[in-house]
């Protein structure tokens, strides 16, 4: 996996012709709305390719959606606002933005002004020039509280790398550049936005995933939505990622393997007790070992049955379309493929 270890300096790198979609989920960030759009337009003012900005309001209650709608009208149709009907959390909001994106390249980032839009041109240029599918940001000099933000992130990064085999320095950085044809083949749910690099290995080679050192700024406005509790949710989703990466198309092997192991242990215990009963005429009906063997055999049957049912569910999953994970308010005057882009200056 390729890693850029040089300093994260702004620059306008040359990239092949493309259209860029920048997706930003936002939740209760009313104070950051205006500075974010100002900084984004300053960073992409001289961008030589068409681009659009997709702002997903994740059911904010502090006036974020109203502020975004006002700013969208002020900046123009290339700024699109997608208001979700309630708070679905960051992953679903990001998926809504990915679904709405029309560009050949999609960049995701946070709306708290900690990610730097100046990094976008360099990351996109590397994505396209090096024939990559993902360039993930690496906040090498992270400006966050160590206990509440950096420690949980370090723990999560190590767990994810060990479980998935995809080794990156910073899974939690939302600033990522994707090839649209690749990321749109992956559906996100739960806390899966953190696991995107691992998920992408199910549709592309790990060699087409790289990371780039990016700038990181301290949060100035608004309140962080992250904390130690997020680490536990990540651990639970990590189990799902591990399962899907290895057994998505053959869940019966996972549950059946556990069932066979339990059945062998339980069968061995019951065989031993049966030998004691038949050969030595010993009483086995009240022995704890008897109950252990009995319940292990029952558990084995349940695991094998679960495996069969999981195979049926997997068959249904692969043969049917995925359901929608969020609901958004209807957008008026949706732009067509040729309209609603910020065009480069002639």
Q: How many whole angstroms separate alpha carbon 182 and alpha carbon 96?
A: 16
Q: Which of 54, 56, 59, 30 is CA-nearest to residue 40?
A: 54
Q: Where are the alpha helices (DSSP H) in the chain?
A: 33-43, 64-75, 90-100, 120-129, 151-164, 180-183, 196-200, 229-247, 251-280, 288-319
Supply 48's token pair: 């030589």
Burial 254-292 (b: 16+ CB within 10 A, else e): bbbebbeebbebbeebbeebeeeeeeeeeebeeeeebee
Q: How many whole angstroms separate alpha carbon 17 and alpha carbon 344?
A: 12
pLDDT for 11: 44
Please tell me the chain's helix, strand, coil percentages from 3-state DSSP, rounded to the nearest 5: 50, 15, 40
Q: Which residue is it, tokens 């068959």? A: 315
Q: Are 56 and 84 in contact (CB under 8 A)?
A: yes
pLDDT for 37: 95
Q: How many whole angstroms separate alpha carbon 88 and alpha carbon 190?
A: 9
Q: How many whole angstroms separate alpha carbon 265 and alpha carbon 297?
A: 8
Supply 334's token pair: 């949706």
Q: How many whole angstroms separate alpha carbon 197 and alpha carbon 192?
A: 10
Q: Are 92 and 192 in contact (CB under 8 A)?
A: no
Q: How many whole angstroms separate alpha carbon 181 and alpha carbon 132?
A: 12
Q: Is the pTM of this model over 0.75?
A: no
Averages of pLDDT over runs of 10 residues in the chain (346 residues) are: 51 77 92 92 93 93 91 93 90 90 94 89 94 89 61 65 70 88 84 78 85 82 57 67 71 85 93 90 86 93 88 68 59 62 77
pLDDT for 124: 95
pLDDT for 1: 59
């Amino acid at each position: 996996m390729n890693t850029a270890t040089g300093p994260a300096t702004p620059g306008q790198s040359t990239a092949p012709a493309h259209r860029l979609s920048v997706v930003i989920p936002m939740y209760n960030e009313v104070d950051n709305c205006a500075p974010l759009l100002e900084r984004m337009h300053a960073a992409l003012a001289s961008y030589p390719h068409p681009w659009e900005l997709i702002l997903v309001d994740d059911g904010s209650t502090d006036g974020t959606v109203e502020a975004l709608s006002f700013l969208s009208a002020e900046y123009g149709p290339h700024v699109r606002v997608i208001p979700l009907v309630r708070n679905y959390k960051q992953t679903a909001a990001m998926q809504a933005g990915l679904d709405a994106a029309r560009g050949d390249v999609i960049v995701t980032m946070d709306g708290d002004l900690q990610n730097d839009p100046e990094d976008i041109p360099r990351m996109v240029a590397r994505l396209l020039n090096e024939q990559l599918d993902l360039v993930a940001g690496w906040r090498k000099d992270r400006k966050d509280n160590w206990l509440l933000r950096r420690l949980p992130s370090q723990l999560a990064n190590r767990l994810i790398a060990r479980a998935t085999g995809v080794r990156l320095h910073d899974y939690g950085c939302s600033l990522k550049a994707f090839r649209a044809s690749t990321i749109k083949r992956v559906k996100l749910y739960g806390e899966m936005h953190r696991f995107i690099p691992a998920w992408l290995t199910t549709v592309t080679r790990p060699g087409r995933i790289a990371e780039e050192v990016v700038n990181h700024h301290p949060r100035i406005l608004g309140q962080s939505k992250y904390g130690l509790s997020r680490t536990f949710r990540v651990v639970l989703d990590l189990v799902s990622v591990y399962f899907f990466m290895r057994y998505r198309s053959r869940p019966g092997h996972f549950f059946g393997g556990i069932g066979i192991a339990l059945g062998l242990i339980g069968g061995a215990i019951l065989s031993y007790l049966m030998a004691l009963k038949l050969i030595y005429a010993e009483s086995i009906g009240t022995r704890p070992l008897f109950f252990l063997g009995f319940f292990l055999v029952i558990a084995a049957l349940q695991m094998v049955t679960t495996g069969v049912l999981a195979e049926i569910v997997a068959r249904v999953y692969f043969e049917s379309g995925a359901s929608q994970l969020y609901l958004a308010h209807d957008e008026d005057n949706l732009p067509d493929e040729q309209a609603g882009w910020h065009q480069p200056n002639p």
